[in-house]
Amino acid sequence: MAKSKFEYVRNFETDDTCLRNCYIVVRLDGRNFHKFAEQHKFAKPNDDRALGLMTRSARSVMEELEDIVVAYGQSDEFSFVFKRSSTWFKRRASKLMTHVASQFSSSYVFYWKEFFENQPLLYPPGFDGRVVLYPSNRNLRDYLSWRQADCHINNLYNTVFWMLVQRKGLSTTQAEDRLKGTLAGDKNEILFTEFGINYNNESAVHKKGTTLIWEKRDETVIKRMKLPNGEEKDMPVTRSRRRVEAYHCDLIGEQFWEEHPDILEDDN
C-alpha cells in the first residue's frame, strides 16, 4: 500500500520495549485515595469493601490480560507480575501498563456496586501506573517482600493509631505524638496492654495483603452423553480448570514459593 507523506511521523514514537528475560512488574496506585477514602466513608484503618473491590478488579486484570503470573495488592495499590518470557504486546511498556491501568480502573467502577451497596460512587477514580523490570527471581521476590513489609508496617501503625483515636479519644495529633519514635515492639505492646489486642490475631488480609495466583483445580460436571447404542446417559466429566485464587499469606519466607513452584521461571 502506498504510504502517505505523513507516515514519517511514526518515527517519532520511542522504543519502550522491556529488556528480555526480566520480570515486568506493573504497579498501580489509586490517585489521591486519601481524599477518595474520606469522601466514600471508607472504614478506618481498613475497609473490607474497598479491599474486596481492589481484589475483584485485579482478578479481572489477570483474567483479561495474558501472562500475569502473580499479583499482589494492599491499600490502594496492586502490582502485576508478567512472566519473564512474556512476548505480550512485544513487551512494550506503555501498552502493558496502560492495558493494566485501564482494565483495572474500568473494573473498579464496574464492580463498585457489588461491594458498596449503599455508598454511591461520587466521582470517577483514577490510578497511576509504573513499570519496573526485575532480572532475577531474588530481585522479584525482594520486590514483593518490600510491598508486603510496607503493608505490615502501615497496618501496625494504623491499627494502633486508630485505636488511640477511636477508643482512647486522643486527637489525631496526640496519637501521632504518642507513636513518634516507637518501634514495632512498642506498638504491639500498646495494643496488648491498653486494648487487649494481640496483633498476631488481626485479620490476615489486613496484615499480609492479597496475593493472586493461577491454580489448576479439577472440576467435575455432569454431562449428558450419547452411548454407542444410541441411549443417553448422565456421566460425570472431570476437567482441569485454571482459576485465579487469592491468598493472604507470607511472601517473604520460603514456604509460599516452595508450595507454588510454578510461579517463577528458573534464573539463567
Question: Residue 78: which of Mg ion, ligand DGT, none does it interact with, CB under 5 to 8 A by kind?
Answer: none
Ranges within 188-227 binding ligand DGT (CB under 6 A) = none
Residue with smaller CB distance to ligand DGT, 36 or 256: 36
φ/ψ bin of 75: left (φ > 0), alpha (ψ from -120 to 50), beta (otherwise): left
Task: Establish if 30 lies at the interface with Mg ion (CB under 5 A).
Answer: yes
C-alpha cell recorded at residue 210: 492479597
The smaller minimum CB distance to ligand DGT, of residues 44 and 260, is found at: 44
Residue 161 binding ligand DGT, by CB under 6 A:
no
Q: Point out which span in 30-38, 111-119, 188-196, 239-247 binds Mg ion (CB under 5 A).
A: 30-38
Out of 23, 24, 76, 115, point to the residue binding ligand DGT (CB under 6 A).
Answer: 76
44 binds ligand DGT per the rule CB under 6 A:
yes
Q: Examine residue 75 and tell whether it contacts ligand DGT (CB under 6 A).
A: yes
CA distance 248 to 176: 28
Question: Rule CB under 6 A: is residue 29 a binding residue for ligand DGT?
Answer: yes
Query: Does 41 sit near ligand DGT (CB under 6 A)?
Result: no
Q: In what order do the strands lie in the sheet with 232-247?
A: 127-134, 23-30, 77-82, 68-74, 210-226, 232-247
Residue located via cell numbers 470517577 = 124
Which of Mg ion, ligand DGT, none has residue 150 at its interface (CB below 5 to 8 Å by kind)?
Answer: none
**Minimum gap (Å) between residue 58 Cβ and ligand DGT:** 14
50 near ligand DGT, rule: CB under 6 A: yes
Is residue 47 at the binding interface for ligand DGT, with CB under 6 A as the rule?
A: yes
Q: Is 50 in the site for Mg ion (CB under 5 A)?
A: no
Gyration radius of the chain's alpha carbons: 23
Q: Hey, is 5 helix, strand or coil?
A: coil
Closest to 46 in 3D by CA, of 8, 76, 18: 76
> Do 168 and 194 form a contact (C-beta atoms < 8 A)?
yes
d(CA 178, CA 167): 14
Q: Tell me whether residue 161 is exposed, middle or buried, using C-beta atoms within 10 angstroms of its C-beta: 0 to 12, 13 to 18, 19 or more.
A: buried
Question: Which member of 17, 19, 20, 31 binds ligand DGT (CB under 6 A)?
Answer: 31
Should residue 34 be labelled a site residue for ligand DGT when binding is judged by CB under 6 A? yes
Which residue bears the cell 514483593? 144
List contacts with ligand DGT (CB under 6 A). Answer: 29-34, 37, 42-47, 50, 75-76
List contacts with Mg ion (CB under 5 A). Answer: 29-30, 33, 75-77
